[in-house]
Amino acid sequence: MDTAADRPSAIYDRIGMGYSDIRRPDPRLHALISRALGGARTVVNVGAGSGSYEPEEADVIAVDPSQVMLDQHPGAAKVKAGAEALPFKSGSFDAAMAIMTIHHWPDPRRGLRELRRVARRQVVFTWDPAHRPELWLLEEYLPEIRELEYSRFASLDEVADALEAHTVLPFPVPHDFTDGFQIAYWRRPDSYLDPVIRRASSTFAQLPPSVVEPAIARLRADLDSRSWHRRHADLLGRQSMDYGYRLLVGGK
Ligand SMILES: C[S@@+](CC[C@H](N)C(=O)[O-])C[C@H]1O[C@@H](n2cnc3c(N)ncnc32)[C@H](O)[C@@H]1O
């Protein structure tokens, strides 16, 4: 039976409140996305959320199935829809962008085909589940996140293939990355102790407290005893880390 909780937007209808306070667009990722959009004048932002990373100089239409997310989007042109059936004619836009969203789509291949249908160029930012190293949080504290991530992130090859991507760029995550998705705090472990920060990440939101709370208690103990710092002394000196985030570009 199809219930409200099964809808793709359901998770963001639940966790989306306050999203934009924690998920502040990072200027370095913004610059990379702007370059990839290649001066597009008309852009559709699919899975737009609160509108992060949209180019200021273009006409942008935001598409998202979650009303809670669309309500936080400051733009005037907003459409409630899923990526798998975009309500636009073929070739309507110079570019389509999809940033940290395709892992939420029930059928990413179909959604990516829609991006190619409605726009001449496609810019997709996602995570490669085959990339190593993984974030220490998964290896040492919450392997349950790994299972969840692997079940929802398509392989990079699949995404590149569906887009016929001609460009795949790595994005090493800066240590002070401002957009609070899970990876942002790789060098700021205390941040994971904050329930407000955890709430802005859909993985934490999907795991039951009975799984998350004991893991966070162990992390707190390791931070208090500084055993985390001893284990990760190498990370503390790094400015950025490649954890497998990739920008793919297809089309012209
Ligand atoms: C992590 S947020 C990313 C939002 C924004 N792109 C950003 O970079 O901040 C993921 C977004 O994907 C949206 N989403 C979920 N299912 C979707 C679908 N089937 N098609 C398009 N977007 C979807 C969610 O509602 C949410 O706003």
Ligand 1 contacts CB of residue 101 (under 6 A): yes
Q: What is the 3-state secondary structure (H, E, C) of the chain?
A: CCCHHHCCCHHHHHHCCCHHHHECCCHHHHHHHHHHHCCCCEEEEECCCCCCCCCCCCEEEEEECCHHHHHCCCCCCEEECCCCCCCCCCCCEEEEEEECCHHHCCCHHHHHHHHHHHEEEEEEEEECCCCCCCCHHHHHHCHHHHHHHHHHCCCHHHHHHHHCCCEEEECCEECCCCECCHHHHCCCHHHHHCHHHHHCCHHHHHCCHHHHHHHHHHHHHHHHCCHHHHHCHHHHCCCEECCCEEEEEEEC
CATH number for the domain that contains residue 97:
3.40.50.150
Q: What average pLDDT does this structure show over 213-238? A: 97
Nearest to 222 by CA among 196, 174, 190: 190
- State in Å: Cα 99 to ligand 1 middle: 8
User: Over the stretch 33-58, which tens digit does the pLDDT of each residue have?
Assistant: 999 999 999 999 999 999 999 999 99
* Residue 233 in tokens: 């002394």
Ligand 1 contacts CB of residue 8 (under 6 A): yes
Tokens 């990526």 correspond to 83
pLDDT more than 70, % of the chain: 93
Ligand 1 contacts CB of residue 182 (under 6 A): no
- Closest ligand 1 atom, residue 49 Cα: 27
- State in Å: Cα 83 to ligand 1 middle: 9
Quick one: pLDDT at residue 55?
96
User: Over the stretch 161-203, which tens digit does the pLDDT of each residue have?
Assistant: 999 999 999 999 999 999 988 999 999 999 999 998 998 888 8
83 Cβ neighbours under 8 A, 6+ residues apart: 46, 47, 63, 98, 101, 102, 105, 108, 110, 111, 112, 114, 115
In this structure, which amino acid lies at residue 117? Answer: R
Are residues 174 and 168 in contact, defined by beta-carbon separation less than 8 angstroms? Answer: no
Nearest to 199 by CA among 63, 19, 64, 45: 19
Identify the sign of the CA torsion 218, 17, 243, 177: negative
* Residue 5 in tokens: 């909780």
Q: Which among 101, 113, 124, 245 is the best mutation to test ligand 1's pocket, defined by most ligand atoms within 8 Å of the CB?
A: 101
Total of domains in the chain: 1
Ligand 1 contacts CB of residue 64 (under 6 A): yes
- Closest ligand 1 atom, residue 111 Cα: 20
Quick one: pLDDT at residue 17?
62
Provide φ and ψ at 97, rounded to 5°. -120, 145
Tell me how far apart the alpha carbons of residues 78 and 84 are, in angstroms, rounded to a whole number: 17
Ligand 1 contacts CB of residue 48 (under 6 A): yes
Domain that holds residue 209: 4-251
User: Over the stretch 138-162, which tens digit does the pLDDT of each residue have?
Assistant: 999 999 999 899 989 999 999 999 9
pTM of the model: 0.92
